[in-house]
Amino acid sequence: MRGIDALLAVMAQLRDPVAGCPWDREQDLRSLVPHTLEEAYEVADAIERDDPAAIPDELGDLLFQVVFCAEIGRETGRFDFDSIARGMTDKLVRRHPHVFAGRQETTASGQRATWEAIKADERSARAAGEAPPGALDDVPLALPALTRSRKLQSRAARVGFDWPEPHQVIDKLREELAELEEALDHQPPDQRHIHEEMGDLLLACVNLSRRIGVDAEQALRDGNAKFERRFRGLEAILAAADERPETVGFDRLESAYQQAKAQDGPGPGVADAD
């Protein structure tokens, strides 16, 4: 029996109304959402750590979530694993005419434009007879905020709502930072206004990342990893001097951090940053 067939059979047994697992029988598509998101992040973590043992294990956990959802769909008669796989196959063929339909495409940017045009046509077809689809339709709310911001701004850019040059986005970033500073200086403090201006500043940061070809979500993940690595170095430096972070002042902490930074250097493929 093929691995996928065995997995589907095990899933069906887990959902069996008589002999199945009580927890598995209680689940529905909505209850599986947090588990599916968690497994996707664990796949990303294993890849980031370049752990050859963990990657296939975490991919298996993610695949199980797909199979779980497919089994629930099969029970309700709405879809099953085979229809999911066939739908994905048809979509890939349809969105790659340069591979499967003899259409010539020589650049990645050209292929990307074709891909997005086909997706737009698909959205229009799904909305046939309804109001024309908006440029921002179908961007999932469940995406991480940085990723969703990039997608929203990319969609807006496709219809012309974009700064012509990246340096203009930097000017906008400075403008948003000044507005945040003004909100922070306001007396009495208005936390709601500060919150709003911080959101505008983050939005501008994501827009700048998009314009200069940097994925904001991945850049922040890399920045987090670098900060974590260097802070652990700070802790090691203090421990070697029989000191603890909570018992020394900020100047000592900053000095130890700069020492850890000098010892660490930039991460692989990541530019150094203060």
CATH number, domain of 17, equals: 1.10.287.1080
Residues 112 and 176 in one domain: no
pLDDT of residue 229: 94
Contact between 67 and 11 under an 8 Å Cβ cutoff? The reply is yes
pLDDT of residue 266: 63
Domain that holds residue 115: 96-126
Residues 16 and 71 in one domain: yes
Which tokens belong to 206? 């994501």
Cis previous bond, 188, omega within 30: yes
pLDDT of residue 102: 73
d(CA 135, CA 108) in angstroms, rounded, equals: 23
The residue ranges of the chain whose pLDDT is under 50 are 268-274
Which residue intervals of 127-248 are DSSP H helices? 145-158, 166-185, 191-211, 216-240
Q: pTM for the complete prediction?
A: 0.66
Contact between 206 and 149 under an 8 Å Cβ cutoff? The reply is yes
Residues 235 and 190 in one domain: no
Residues 78 and 8 in one domain: yes
Q: Does the residue 17 lie in any domain?
A: yes
Q: Does the residue 140 lie in any domain?
A: no
pLDDT of residue 85: 96
Contact between 150 and 215 under an 8 Å Cβ cutoff? The reply is yes
Which tokens belong to 262? 């000098």
What total number of domains does the chain contain?
A: 4
pLDDT in tens, 43-58: 998 998 899 999 999 9
Residues 47 and 122 in one domain: no
pLDDT of residue 141: 86
Residues 174 and 256 in one domain: no
Contact between 64 and 35 under an 8 Å Cβ cutoff? The reply is no
Residues 89 and 113 in one domain: no
Residues 53 and 87 in one domain: yes
Q: Which residue reads 């199945």 in tokens?
A: 20
Residues 116 and 196 in one domain: no
Residues 38 and 75 in one domain: yes
